Structure 1
Amino acid sequence: MSEPAIVVEQLGRSFTDRGREIVALRDVSFQIGAGEIVGLLGSNGAGKTTLTKILATLLLPTTGLARIFGHDVTRDLRAVRRMTGVVLGGDRGLYAKLNARDNLRFFAVLAGVGRRGLSAKVDAALEEVGLVGAADRAVETYSKGMRQRLHIAIGMIGEPRVLLLDEPTVGLDPVEAERLRGTVAALRDTGVSVLLTSHHLLDIERLAARVIILADGTLAADLPVEEFARQAGYTATVIVRGTGTPPDAGAVSSPDIAVGAVDTADGAWTLRLHVRDWSVGSFGLLEKALAHVSVLDVRIEPVRLEDVYSHVAARLAAGSRVGGVR
């Protein structure tokens, strides 16, 4: 069995503010394998950024340990930094007066990239993130999206074995965001491991195999994406719009189908039906409900991770379990 890319054991981090202890992380443990992409979720203040900074050697843990391919993040900083790429994003961390090419050269040298072939690597990184045409412009003239793309190029130029991505698609338009997802997905095939933090759950849906959820600094869940998607309690929503008398909700409601409220507007009604599982029984109930009503259209929307996370966050706030953890 290959060595895990990331090992976190009983990791904790606390701060002192005006004499009061603030716990950012408490007894967090998990592993990430080589070539695995794992999504890191949690509300603001859950500890996601603190965890990412510890793995990036930017912050020391208070308790516990973390290793990158066997190297301790507190004792083997040089080795960890050689094999770890970090994309924290935002407007900080770039030299605004320099152009993108010079920023990349500088950070590549810091990451231990040799000078032989450096120019070719810089050109390839600029091409990958779509900044070739603006490579010689000062970064201070860049839009937010362009700066984010430059952050991503810097994080990847050292050809890291582990990539820590914190909100990588912030500021990117849909085309750029999808291009980035393709780039990250391709890394998986080369054995690069990725810990992906994002409030844009389409990133998680398209890329991650697992989801780790932090709540109040503790590990609330560690689930395959498929199991995480099931936490909403339904697999799809059937949206029916019609005129006249709407379906009898009582005739449809069952263990397989939950009926939402009926909305009426402009002389038409809209009914949302949450289908737990597609089966002969659920299809039969839908047929029975719609057999004697005037239907204008029917749409089926698979459950979205945004919907799932809203459901999970509410359960965590109430102190409930998610996937057997917490």
Structure 2
Amino acid sequence: MQCSLREYGRWTAGRVLCSALCGCGGFRMRKRVLSFQAPTSFRQRHRNAGLSPWCAIVVPAGVAASPSSSSKLEGPSQEEQKGKYISKKLLPPLVKHVKLSMDFPEDEVPDTSSGSLLHQFQSSVPVDVPIHPCIQEVIKREWRDADKILLRFMAKLYPLQDMAYVLLDLVPIDSFVASLVGRTSLGEDAVIRDSVDKNVDVSLKKAYAGTHLALRAGIYGTYFAQSLLSDLKALNSALDGSSDCSELMSLIVRQADFLLDISLDVVRALALAEGACVSAHRNLILWDWKTDTAQRASASWLPFQGNVVFGV
């Protein structure tokens, strides 16, 4: 890859979360800046012509995977910004294949006798993926033990470097904001005294640490999905003349393409969740700031840079 793990960790720590907190909903990256782009060959990412794609990974068709070609991270080109579409007919076979491979029960035939608005809405949805019972049990178990401390060994599974690790800690507010509200009861080392507020503070820190760990896992998933897609496209090109393998390989490539979309969406959603945790924590610290609501809201949404609760 052109972008090292260290460089991407720094980029994720600063740019992703700062953009999420500013409410951009995506990056508007200049061409000289390295960026992931969502694989626009699978679906249209931005339906508004005025928005450039948040992220897409450019993989030249029919080119073998190599650090200098298929895994290269590039900015969006003018052609890619126009948006590409995938037929909705291609997604149901992928979902059906997943259900069969994971022993999901057969889909029940919906009752159309009522003709309700709910049925009309459900019929407009092309596909749906149920939550596997094993996944449901994992989610419910984590919800039941929401107060537990994040397992330390999990944080070692997806190591990042430098700035990325700073995001794990919500440190006291910096001197910039302290001077901004210095004439109030808020000091540079703000202390939360109320017991309920302290519990909220601890919960926000746990939520932030959890979303950050998931974001790191999403980053790793994006790396491996990109590498897998590159290798599968190269293999599909090599087996192009074999009729026995062509249909299966085509299905595998589409699954890898969709997996790449999913992993990038996970990164984006978790970055927004991290930003929300930071904003909530700032609001908690600014609770006693004697000012109007608009100024307090503006301070809570200052660009976040990762090393302090309030960015400078």
- Which category of TM-score, normalised to the shorter sequence, fits these structures? under 0.3
Structure showing the higher helix proportion among its residues = 2
Which has the bigger relative contact order, CA under 8 A and spacing at least 6? Answer: 2
TM-score normalized with structure 2 length: 0.25
